[in-house]
Structure 1
Amino acid sequence: MMNALPERGESRRAANARKRVSRRPSRLGLVAGATLKPDRVREADAGFPGLLKRAWQRAEEADDLRSFVEVLLTLDGHVPADVQLRALSAPEEAALATLCGLTWRTQETTTTAADAGADGDGGPEPVFLGEIALATSGRVVLRVPSQAPLKADQLVGGVRRVPWTQADLDGYREYLRRAEVRVAETVADCRRWLDAQGPQGRDALLEQAKEAALRTAPFVLYQQGRQYTNFRDHNTLTGKTLWPGHPDCALSSLQGLPLELWSDHDAQLLVCLTLLVRSAGPGRVEEANGTQLTVDHLAHMLERIRLGYNAALGREQVPPAASTSVADLNDLAVALRTHRAEVAGHAQLYREIHGALMHKIEKVARPYADAARAREDAVVARLTDRLPLTGDTLQELGRELAAAPHWLAAPHGDFATGLEALVYASAGAATEAFDADFAMSRGMRSLPDLISALREERWAEICDWEITRFFCCVVPDPSAARHFGGSTAALADAAWAMSSRMQYNSWHFIAGNLPKGPEVVDRDHFVPPTIPDVAFYSDQHHHGHVNNNVRFSIRSPQSVVVDGRRFNGFVDLRLLRCDGTPFDEQDLLAAHRVSAFTAQATGLAAELAAAGEEVEVTAFDSPWHWSAVTGQDKPASRAS
């Protein structure tokens, strides 16, 4: 947890008094939490519940079964159908493949040719009446033979009843038979592989899996009908709710337990988590979010990644797995991680995030093209107009800055340091050049303080720093007020809410860059991000995203070397659109160059600080955001 220690030179009483005063721009100086009612009340079904309701209503308008299912699989165009198809249990997968011919498996065929355009009218006599529905979790669920009716309280809007013919039943049974054989072989292979690790080896794998769950964003995984999650529902894995070693954690409960007493689900879970982590670190787990986590699903994912890596390298550098055995998939996972840095040297890796299901997909970007250059040109034009730099590209600006960086530590314009001016100019230029509603850039306020703590190895002190040790400059487009009732005050409040959250993110990542001593291990933190991402429909789950209309976004994290230590995710640039057109891959590539420019400036400022310059960022607090967004010195509510 964040420590409530006072800031430098501040008494505990003063610190507590400060915490009781609102930092919200429109309420500066007022007692926090004293309003009688919130300024904005969101709809009861805002976010994910509303999306599911609309998707179900849209699906009900479909004329045929396949069209109905396709709307549900994509949540009416909000997620790739492939994610939902891979979330189905084996019986559900068999049913959907038989009834609609829909499956994520490229080699799978059904024994009957399903007529996707009919629900049984005029066809053979139905022998079973099944159901298809949308669960409140967002999953497509089916009632199959021998199963009880779907539970109404877990569904979004009722069920669609689906008649099954004898041919459908025959096709379903054959598909399910093959699936059962495949699962039995896979489970036996997982158990053999785990047995070969020995008791100590299995315990080490469990520790690694728990650490991965603890240090990455929340996720939901399935093993047939069983759910493993550290997100909102009843938690069964280590995360924000369950501490490492908690008896309710499925992984913790396996430690020291003989392998023969493990369930088949748990055996597959540990094997798959192990291979995911070995292929790219804990972040890879999020790429299985919302899907079945089985060996064949994992094999499908690793093969897709392998093909992307080889395409980027221009040769068959990473060979395919010899089989789908755990041992061969382990070799593939290790090979992917081994060559990942080489791939990153040839092309930009990034993640595509589908917010509705919190699912991430690693992608290999296409080359930098005209659309990205146009964005960069627009940023450069604005930066050369606002900063003492010349050049036609961000790289040229960076070279000129590196040749004469000392102005970064001196006052510049309205700012106490040139670094502040550069951060603000970069974020403002990005807002305009990318047609964004908001752009923001975060970092650390006092590089000298960090350098001093690093030199004296005061790791516990760094871990105890509050979020106010960090900053985030948020620059909204004035027209973004339309998303907040036309109020510039509400726009300033939203900008500060984003700034405060980004300060937390800096706080949350910094410990992940420190030596793994007890004070760091015990400190809540995530593995710092190293590649950018582009997100679609993120205004679904996270309360802040729902409240502040965070729909489409780009995040571009960058590392910075501070006094010889590399800090991953030390700065980033984020772009946000509240509606309209999503950002695309070329936008991301251009944004990544903008964030790299800001990171370079931060690194140069760190060098100045290491040499004795006092480089402090004092701007970008709540009063600054109020003035910058509204043009007023202080809120009208506090004006005399």
Structure 2
Amino acid sequence: MIFEDFKYLVNQAISLANKESETSMAFKQLLTLGGKQKFDDGKMTLGYRENQILQTLELTDLKEDPINLDVYFHNNKIEVTTDDLRHVKNSTYAFSFDYPLKKWKHILAEENELLNIEYKQALLHIGDFNDLKKRHVVDMAEFFLAHMAPIIFYINENVYSNFDYLSNLYAKRRKDKDDFLFEKLRNTAIKDWKQEDLIFICFLNYLLSSGIQTRAEEFNGKQVSMSALVTYLERKNATYVDMGISDIEDFKSLTLDEKVRALRQKYAKIQERKIVYRRINGLSLQKSEEYLNDATLLEDLPQNLKLSNSLKLNFKIDSANLQSYKNSVNRYLTNDDGDLEEKFLKLLRFLLFDLSEKTSADMAFSRFFSSLGRLLELDKNGEYQAISDLNAKNYYCYVVPGRKMVEKLPKVLVTNVNMAVTSRMLYNSWHYMPANFLNDGINTEHREFYFSAVMADIANLDKYHHVGHVKMSINNTIRVPKELYIHGRTYKALLDVRLMRRGDQEFSVEDLGMAVNYTSYIQHLCQVLLDVLDKDRRFDFALEQMDKHKYSLQFSEIKEDYLS
């Protein structure tokens, strides 16, 4: 069986490019990955030389004193060069074409001139840093990038990335002997840094200072420069002003440092007014900051009349407001009618299946925590290192297959899919926990971790990079992370709700809004469970891990309860 992952698409695009008689059409096949992505998305990766060549291909006499140029797919972008990259890492030869030598030399000269201008701009901002400040900036860049989602930046033909096989910034748990950038920069005077490296560090330093670290992800799969940074900051400010954040200063006249500080303050205000989410192109890994306009979703418990009626009918739960909902859930969980865990999972299953129905998702699932009593006791005693050291088996995931999976797929296959998702999510949850204790002096040198997810996201074309998504053709996803509270401490991303859908039909913004709505109900269900366990000092309580037998029973229950 052939899995259509990213490498497969690249090889297919190269094959199609070689069938084209026009060089411009061959480039188009590569830029669109054989029609899988938008032409403009592919162009964002291109350096100056490739852009100039594309613009002049149809206007230039290619036979005029020609030079033969090679085209490679190198580091996930097109690279035009006279160098032989056939044996270079992450490089695949695509095709060759003739181009006027005089024009080629002119383009290279312009490219170098523009690079010098960008370098001088970056040098103005960090060129006079002493060794201590230089190391601090590099250390902070590494700290952020080591604990966040992947970035892929380009400066002409240079890639800067912490993504899987492109990673070249810092040593991970790898045996190869790559010359990692951050360590080299720490031990080199700024005046001796490569021009592109200095631009990258300066760009990243200011970008990360302008708001949440996901700012960096907005430049995934794009060319970065100091001029691009200024344009980005000014456009972001204009967006915030259009959304009602007052612009008390002439933003364009501010210094770069002032722009960064002002934008950071405005972003904090935006979070109070809007649900901020990320839109993700899973193929190019390009991401953008977006906003849900439904103000009711900011409420502690957004109203949902149909869901409220169903909760009242099926569980005698009143959700007229947050307090009523929490009181009703408390009574439901603590009455003498049945086992606490069974009642919790029955309500959780109902909410997740109902959400999958409302959004036509193939599956809905929620990350949570298994060893709840142990977590409560450790937190009560301030044993944050012990919490961070808990292994993945202490976490929890509950997967609910949607209607299409239950009706069309055999039970054994659905059960295996559920288990694969569950196993991955336990590890995912384990990754997030230490970020909750970064100010408590815990030691994380013996393990990796990621910053806790705080922003919802919606992704399409998501089946080409992630191994699990490739194998199951999961092309569209939604994720809504939520925090929970224990003894007054906020545990970010201790919970999230996710939706997955196969095929080409993308999730809509309305689907995301529905997921945000339902996640609030699930969040408060989990919070009530925690509060009940804490009040009764049930420090031995743990949700039993899901296994094939439990998922097999769940499959039958869904058929009987919802589809019969």
Q: TM-score, normalised by structure 2?
A: 0.85
Aligned to 2:128, the other structure's residue is in SS state helix
1:449 is aligned to 374
The one-letter code of the counterpart of 2:196 is H
Give % identity.
19
Q: Any stretches of 5+ residues in structure 2 without a counterpart?
A: 559-564
Mapped to 1, the partners of 2:50 and 2:396 lie a distance apart of 48
1:388-537 to structure 2, matched below 5 A, reads 388-390=316-318, 396=320, 398-407=322-331, 409-410=333-334, 416=341, 418-480=343-405, 486-514=409-437, 515-520=439-444, 522-537=446-461
Mapped to 1, the partners of 2:400 and 2:276 lie a distance apart of 27
Aligned to 2:224, the other structure's residue is in SS state coil
1:51-62 to structure 2, matched below 5 A, reads 51-56=9-14
Q: Any stretches of 5+ residues in structure 1 without a counterpart?
A: 1-41, 100-113, 633-640
Mapped to 2, the partners of 1:532 and 1:410 lie a distance apart of 32
Q: How big is each residue's C-alpha offset from its partner over 1:386-430, in whole Å with a ceiling of 9 and x where there is no partner? A: 332245xxxx36442124442364376676254333322221111
The one-letter code of the counterpart of 2:480 is S
| Cα gap change, 1:571 to 1:198, in 2 (>3 Å) | same
2:487 is aligned to 563
* Residue 181 of structure 2 is aligned to residue 257 of structure 1: no
2:280 is aligned to 353
1:603 is aligned to 527
Shift of 1:155: 6.5
| Cα gap change, 1:482 to 1:386, in 2 (>3 Å) | closer
Mapped to 1, the partners of 2:29 and 2:314 lie a distance apart of 48
| Cα gap change, 1:282 to 1:598, in 2 (>3 Å) | same
1:201 is aligned to 133
User: Which segment is superposed worse, 378-387 or 222-231?
Assistant: 378-387
Q: How big is each residue's C-alpha offset from its partner over 1:88-141, in whole Å with a ceiling of 9 and x where there is no partner? A: 222223222333xxxxxxxxxxxxxx55xxxx7xx7854436657562644233
Shift of 1:271: 0.9
Bigger strand share: 2
* Contact kept? 1:442, 1:506, Cα under 8 Å: yes
Mapped to 1, the partners of 2:350 and 2:147 lie a distance apart of 33
* Contact kept? 1:426, 1:598, Cα under 8 Å: yes
1:32 is aligned to none
| Cα gap change, 1:333 to 1:47, in 2 (>3 Å) | same
1:628 to 554, 557, 560: 554
Mapped to 2, the partners of 1:132 and 1:385 lie a distance apart of 68
Once superposed, what is the RMSD of the aligned Cα atoms?
A: 3.5
Higher relative contact order (CA 8 A, sep 6+): 1
Shift of 1:507: 1.2
- The alignment of Structure 1 onto Structure 2 pairs a total of residues equal to 548
| Cα gap change, 1:339 to 1:233, in 2 (>3 Å) | same
* Contact kept? 2:203, 2:225, Cα under 8 Å: yes
* Residue 151 of structure 2 is aligned to residue 219 of structure 1: yes
| Cα gap change, 1:58 to 1:235, in 2 (>3 Å) | closer
Mapped to 1, the partners of 2:308 and 2:463 lie a distance apart of 31
Mapped to 1, the partners of 2:130 and 2:321 lie a distance apart of 56
1:606-621 to structure 2, matched below 5 A, reads 606-612=530-536, 614=538, 616=541, 618-619=543-544, 621=546
The one-letter code of the counterpart of 1:427 is L
2:561 is aligned to none
Q: How big is each residue's C-alpha offset from its partner over 1:290-342, in whole Å with a ceiling of 9 and x where there is no partner? A: 3333223333433333233222226436854437xxxx333322322222121
1:141 is aligned to 79
* Contact kept? 1:437, 1:578, Cα under 8 Å: yes
Mapped to 2, the partners of 1:126 and 1:365 lie a distance apart of 54
* Contact kept? 1:47, 1:541, Cα under 8 Å: yes
User: Which segment is superposed worse, 309-318 or 221-230?
Assistant: 309-318
Mapped to 1, the partners of 2:477 and 2:441 lie a distance apart of 35
* Contact kept? 2:315, 2:332, Cα under 8 Å: no
| Cα gap change, 1:407 to 1:505, in 2 (>3 Å) | farther
Shift of 1:578: 1.3
* Contact kept? 1:312, 1:364, Cα under 8 Å: no
